[in-house]
Copies of this chain bind each other. A is one copy, B any other.
Amino acid sequence: MSTATMRVVACVIEKDLDFEFVFVDMATDEHKKHPFLSLNPFGQVPAFADGDLKLFESRAITQYIAHVYASNGYQLILQDPKKMPIMSVWMEVEGQKFEPLASKLTWELGIKPMIGMSTDDAIVKESEEQLSKVLDIYETRLAESKYLGGDSFTLVDLHHMPNIYYLMGTKVKALFDLRPRVSAWCADILARPAWVKCLEKLQN
């Protein structure tokens, strides 16, 4: 169910890399104990290892993969020195503006009902109002470039996918549908073969 894990798995599949997926049993708090804590001191999934290098934080992992394996699979970063800083701006927008609201809504409307907890309607209302403003800005941005980070699909779009995937199954979908460019962008990125494979992989 972890959006952060989905982010990393989607990235590895986009880059056509072989990887071993190691299940961490969160039901028995395996992520809060050693040895997992030596991989991620925050006790959260995912953690990632490539040879001796051990990383955590999903966005740091995807950036590592995208840069180090730049020539594998799909190119997830813009290498033009004029375009990369703009991509970097929108990476920060995702992390600082979209994620805090989207993850609250994913938790309240996507995950809580799945695990038998009840939704906090006040949090949903406030987060929906704030997310609407972010999506207005996305709608304008998508008039000037096909994807959020630039003219091609990049890590910026990929980082959004797990939360959007969950939110498409909730009433928050209406906020995306109201905005034609945002709505088309969501349909486009969620239809990527790597994303479909990522979901299959995680469901098995």
Residues of A within 8 A of B (CB): 41-42, 53, 55-60, 63-64, 68, 81-82, 85-86, 88-89, 91-93, 95-97, 99-100, 137, 140-141
A95 to B140, CA, bound (A): 25
Q: Of residues A96, A99, A137, which shows the largest number of chain B Cβ atoms within 10 Å of its Cβ?
A: A96
The residues of B that contact A55 with a CB separation of less than 8 Å are 85-86, 89
The residues of B that contact A85 with a CB separation of less than 8 Å are 53, 55, 60, 63-64, 68
The residues of B that contact A96 with a CB separation of less than 8 Å are 57, 59, 95, 99
A178 to B147, CA, bound (A): 46
Taking a contact as CB atoms closer than 8 A, the residue among B56, B86, B137 that contacts A89 in the complex is B56
The residues of B that contact A42 with a CB separation of less than 8 Å are 93, 97, 137
Task: Report the nearest B residue to A97, measured CB to CB.
Answer: B42
- Copies of this protein in the assembly total 2
A57 to B87, CA, bound (A): 11
Cross-chain contact B140 with A59 (CB below 8 angstroms)? no
Task: Report the nearest B residue to A88, measured CB to CB.
Answer: B60
Chain B's nearest CB lies how many Å from the CB of A61?
Answer: 8
The residues of B that contact A95 with a CB separation of less than 8 Å are 92, 95-96
Closest 5 pairs (CB-CB, A-B): A57-B92, A60-B89, A60-B88, A64-B85, A60-B92
The residues of B that contact A140 with a CB separation of less than 8 Å are 41
Taking a contact as CB atoms closer than 8 A, the residue among B56, B63, B99, B141 that contacts A41 in the complex is B141
The residues of B that contact A92 with a CB separation of less than 8 Å are 57-60, 95
Chain B's nearest CB lies how many Å from the CB of A82?
Answer: 7
